[in-house]
Structure 1
Amino acid sequence: MTTDSTLRPEQAALVLPPAGSALWRRDFLFGAATAAFQIEGATQADGRVPSIWDTFCATPGRVARGDTGDPACDHYHRYDADVALMAELGFGAYRFSIAWPRVIDDNHRLNPKGVDFYHRLLDALDQRGIDAYATLYHWDLPQHLQDRGGWLNRDTARRFADYAGQIAHALSGRVKGWMTLNEPWVSAYVGHAEGRHAPGLRDPRYAVEAMHHLLLGHGLAVPALRANDKAPVGLVANVNGVTAASEREEDQRAARRAHASNNHWVLDALFLGRYPAELQALWPDAVVPARAGDMEVISAPLDFIGINYYFRAVVASDGDRGYVVHQQPGVERTQMGWEVHPDSLRDLLIEFHQRYPNLPPVYITENGMASDDHVDGGRVHDEQRMRYLGRHFAAIQQAIDRGVDVRGYFAWSLLDNFEWAYGYEKRFGIVHVDYATQQRTPKDSALALKAFFQQRAQAGA
C-alpha cells in the first residue's frame, strides 16, 4: 500500500473507506471546507464592512478569552500557500464561504476590492485543478443589516437575494457549485434563542422568525443565482443523531421534538413545503411570519443538498414541553464534548432518503472533530481523528448501499481556526495552525488522507 513515508501502513489504513466502496471511485468528490470569518482575518482590509461576528467578538464575555476573527489564519494574505497545501494533500475540491461584508458595501453595491480577493482565490484553485464550491452565508451578516433587524426583518431576505445575484454575476463560470446558507438552524436557534452565537438574542420566538426569513432568503436567492450562473445550487443543513434517554413516554416525546427541531425544521421546509407540527408544541408562543407564496419559494427544487454531521445527542424531557441533552457516560467524545456516533449519520441519510421523495443528490459538506492537538517533533498525532474519519466513511457507504445518492465529502476543516464562541481553543483542522507564527503543519490525519487519495488514483477506478 502506498503511504506517506512518515506514516506506518496501519496508521494510514485508519482512514480508508471499505474496500470496493463508492468512495474509492474517482468520481466521488473529496474536498476540504472552511468559512470566511474563521480563517480570513483582515477584517478591516480593502473596504470590508463590520459583521455581526465582529460586534459579538467585541462584546465582553461573548467569546472565550476575548478572541476575535483577526488575524485568524490570515488566509486573506496566505490563500495561495493554503491552496498549494490542499493540492499537495490531493484534495479535488474546496468548499469556502464568501464574506458578505467583504464583497457588498453598506450601500448594497459590490466592493471591487473584496470581489477581487475571491477572483485571486479562484485563480489559485484553477491553477491547481481544485473545484470551487462557494457558500454565500456562513453566519457573517453585515452589521448594518442587523441594525435594521437582521434576520428578524423580512427585508434581509431580499438583501440576501440581491447579494447572491450580484456575486454570481461577478464570479460567473468560476464556481462548480453554489451553497446559499450554511446551517440555518445554528443561525436561527443558537444565535436567536440560545444567544451563544451572534447576534446573541435569547428568545425562541426570534428563532422561529429568523429561520423563516433565512429560508425565504435562500428561496429568493436560488433564481437569482440561476439567472447569473449555470452552476448547481444547494443549501447546507446541519443534522445530528437524536436518541431518547429512556423508554419513558415523556423522554420519547422529547426525542421526537428534538429530532423535529434539529433535523426536520429545515429539510421539511425545503422538501415538503411545510414546517414540522412538533415545533408548535415546543414553542407555542412563536408565530411563523409566513406570507402567501413563501413556502413555494422556499421549497423550489434544488440541484443538491449539503449535510453537515458531527455527533449524536441523547435527550430527556425537561419536565415541560421541551428537552435537555443527557450526558451519556462511557462513550467516546471529542474535544467539544460531542459523542462520536457514525451510525447516526448512516441512519439519518437513510431516513431523509425515505422521508423526502424529491431529495436531490447529497454531499457531506462538513464532518470532522475537534481535538487538543500539539506539534511534537514536527508531527501532530491525531489518531482519534483518523479513526473518526474512517468510521464515518464506512457509515456513508452503508447509506449508499441503502440507495442514498451521496456524491462527495468535505472534511471539516482544512485548517485549525476561529471556532466561534470558543475562540481558538478548539482545533478542528486536519492542518495544525500555530497562530503566533501562522506555521501550517499537516496532522497525521492529513497525511493519511493524502495516502488514500494517492492509492485511489493508482487504482484508477
Structure 2
Amino acid sequence: MRDSSFSKAFLWGAAAASAQIEGGWKDGGRTPSIWDMATKKQVKHGETCHTACDHFHRWKEDVALMKEMGLKSYRFSISWSRVIPEEGKVNPEGLKFYSDLVDELIANGIEPLVTIFHWDLPMWVYKKGGWLSESIVPLFREYTKVVVEALSDRVKWWMTINEPGCFIMNGYMQGAHAPFKHDYLALSKLTRNCMLAHAASVKAIRQYAKQPVKVGIAFSTGAWIPENETPAEIEKARRLSMEEGSGLIGNRWWMDPMLAGKPVRAYGIYASHEKDMAEIAQPLDFIGLNIYTSYNYADWGSNQRPAPGTPRNALGWVIDERCMYWNVRFVYERYKLPIMITENGLAAHDMVSLDGKVHDPKRADFIKRYLGQLKRAANEGIPLLGYQHWSVMDNFEWAEGYDPRFGLVYVDFTTGKRIIKDSAWDYKHIIETNGAEL
C-alpha cells in the first residue's frame, strides 16, 4: 500500500440528520417539528418526513450496515422535539434513543459525531418566535445542556448547528424550506439570534462535557475556482470566494463573526454588530464544511453560465470536484483552524436493477473525484480531521421529498428495505487503504 497523506486518525464516515431519516414523529414522547407540519403544497408530491427511513425503529440494523460498509465514524443530529417535547420538559425516552444509538456505534467501532441542531425546530419553539426571537438563545443553551449531560461521557465530537446560512435563507427569507417564510429584511435579526445561540451552545458544551471534547460548527459553503493557477487568478478566486457576491453571504457573513470575531456588512442593508463579537466568537476546535459545488456559475449569482452538457447532479448542481480543494484552502488560509468535511455527496435517481442490486457508478466516480481534491489539500499540509459522506442512506430531502437519492444505502420507502449500493463498497476500499490510492 502506498503512503497516504491522510492521518491515521482521519475520521472516514457518513452523515445523516434526524428529520431526514428518523421518522417516528409521534413516537416515544416526541412532538412535531416545523418539518412535520409542512403542507402537501410545500413538499414535492405532498410527501412527509413522518416515517422517512424509520431509523427510529431500525437503528440497530442501520448501525450494522455502517459497520459492514467499514465506516469509522457517523455524524448524526439530535431531534430537539424528541429530547424536549415541550418547554421545560425533558423526555427520558428520547434521550435513551440517542444514548442507545451512541452505545451501539461505539460497540461497532464507529465514532459518534453529534450535531445539536439540523433544521428541525420544534413547533413549540417556533410558536415562541423561533429564530426571530432572542428567547431562542436560552432555550438552545438549555437544550444543549440536556444533550451534553446525557451523551458527553461517550461523545467527543460536537457541532452546534448545521448550515445556518441554509436554514435562515431558505426557511425565513426565500420561503423554500420550513417554516416557509418570506422576510428578506430580517437577515440581521435572524443571524444575530442564530450566532448568539451557537455561542451559548459552545459554552454549554464546554461547561457540561464529562470529558475533553472537540467543538465546531458545520457551514454550507462554496468557492470560486480560479481559471488558472497564476497568483492573480488565485487571488481573484479568493476574493470572490470570501469577500464578494455569494462568497460574502455564503461564507464571510457567517464565518467572520463566528470564527474571527469580525463584524460584517452586506449590501448596505444588513449588518452584524461589533458589540456582539466578543460573545459570538467562542473558541472552536475545528470548522465543518459542507461542500457540493462551486460559486462560478449562474446558479450562485455569477454571470458565468456552464457550458451546455456540464455535469450536474439530480438537483441541478454543477459537479466540479475542484471546489473541494479551493474551498478547503481558502477557508483554512483565512481562519487557520483544522477542517472536517461534514457533508459531500451526489444526488442521483438511483434504482434497483433486475439483479436486485443498486449500481451507481456516477456516485463512486464522484467520491473519488472529490476525495482526490481533498487529498491535494492534505498533501499541502492543511490539517484535515475527517470526511463525512452525505449521506449514509437515501432519505427525505426536505422540500424535494424522496426523489433525490444521496445515500450509500438504498432505501425502499414503501417497505423500508435497505440495499448497500456499489459506491459504498468502493468507499469501503478507500477507507481500508486510508485514501492511499486516490
Is the counterpart of residue 259 in structure 1 residue 237 in structure 2? no
Partner of 1:330: 309
Partner of 1:107: 87
Moved more, 101-110 or 147-156: 101-110
| Distance apart, 1:207 and its partner CA | 3.0
For 2:178, what is the secondary structure of its paired residue? coil
For 1:197, what is the secondary structure of its paired residue? coil
Matched AA of 1:88 = E
Partner of 1:22: 5
Cα gap change, 1:60 to 1:334, in 2 (>3 Å): same
* Structure 1 stretches lacking a partner, 5+ long: 2-18
Encode CA deviations 1:186-227: one digit per residue, 9 max, x unaligned. 011111111101111112222332122111101011111111
Cα gap change, 1:437 to 1:409, in 2 (>3 Å): same
Partner of 1:186: 166
The answer as to whether partners of 1:314 and 1:328 remain within 8 angstroms in 2 is: no
For 1:53, what is the secondary structure of its paired residue? coil
Matched AA of 1:360 = L
The answer as to whether partners of 1:32 and 1:91 remain within 8 angstroms in 2 is: yes
The answer as to whether partners of 2:4 and 2:434 remain within 8 angstroms in 1 is: no
Cα gap change, 1:150 to 1:384, in 2 (>3 Å): same
Matched AA of 1:345 = M
Partner of 2:30: 48
Aligned equivalents of 1:218, 1:95: Cα separation in 2: 18
| Distance apart, 1:394 and its partner CA | 1.1
Aligned equivalents of 1:233, 1:428: Cα separation in 2: 26
Partner of 2:192: 212
Matched AA of 1:70 = H
| Distance apart, 1:328 and its partner CA | 4.5
Partner of 1:364: 341
Is the counterpart of residue 355 in structure 1 residue 334 in structure 2? yes
In the TM superposition, structure 1's runs of 4+ consecutive aligned residues that sit over 4 Å from their partners are 252-255, 315-318, 322-328
The answer as to whether partners of 2:224 and 2:240 remain within 8 angstroms in 1 is: no
Equivalent of 2:356, from 372, 378, 382?
378
Aligned equivalents of 2:310, 2:161: Cα separation in 1: 32
Partner of 1:439: 417
Equivalent of 1:120, from 74, 85, 100?
100
Aligned equivalents of 1:355, 1:101: Cα separation in 2: 36
The answer as to whether partners of 1:209 and 1:287 remain within 8 angstroms in 2 is: no
Equivalent of 1:403, from 349, 364, 381?
381
Superposition pairs for residues 19-168 of structure 1, below 5 Å? 20-23=3-6, 25-55=7-37, 57=38, 59-168=39-148
The answer as to whether partners of 2:40 and 2:47 remain within 8 angstroms in 1 is: no
The answer as to whether partners of 2:410 and 2:420 remain within 8 angstroms in 1 is: yes
Matched AA of 1:132 = P
Is the counterpart of residue 417 in structure 1 residue 405 in structure 2? no
* Structure 2 stretches lacking a partner, 5+ long: 228-232
The answer as to whether partners of 1:313 and 1:325 remain within 8 angstroms in 2 is: no
Aligned equivalents of 2:277, 2:290: Cα separation in 1: 23
Size of the aligned set, in residue pairs, is 423
The answer as to whether partners of 2:60 and 2:104 remain within 8 angstroms in 1 is: yes
Partner of 2:230: none
Is the counterpart of residue 298 in structure 1 residue 286 in structure 2? no
Matched AA of 1:206 = A
The answer as to whether partners of 2:360 and 2:423 remain within 8 angstroms in 1 is: yes
Cα gap change, 1:286 to 1:432, in 2 (>3 Å): same
Is the counterpart of residue 239 in structure 1 residue 221 in structure 2? yes
Aligned sequence identity (%) = 38
Aligned equivalents of 2:120, 2:59: Cα separation in 1: 19
For 2:294, what is the secondary structure of its paired residue? strand
For 1:169, what is the secondary structure of its paired residue? helix
The answer as to whether partners of 1:205 and 1:287 remain within 8 angstroms in 2 is: no
The answer as to whether partners of 1:108 and 1:163 remain within 8 angstroms in 2 is: no
Partner of 2:155: 175
The answer as to whether partners of 2:262 and 2:274 remain within 8 angstroms in 1 is: no
Encode CA deviations 1:323-348: one digit per residue, 9 max, x unaligned. 67845533111111111111112112
| Distance apart, 1:102 and its partner CA | 0.4
Partner of 2:260: 272
Aligned equivalents of 2:326, 2:428: Cα separation in 1: 28
The answer as to whether partners of 1:50 and 1:143 remain within 8 angstroms in 2 is: yes
What is the Cα-based RMSD across aligned positions, in Å? 2.5
Matched AA of 1:22 = S
The answer as to whether partners of 2:214 and 2:285 remain within 8 angstroms in 1 is: yes
TM-score (norm 2): 0.91
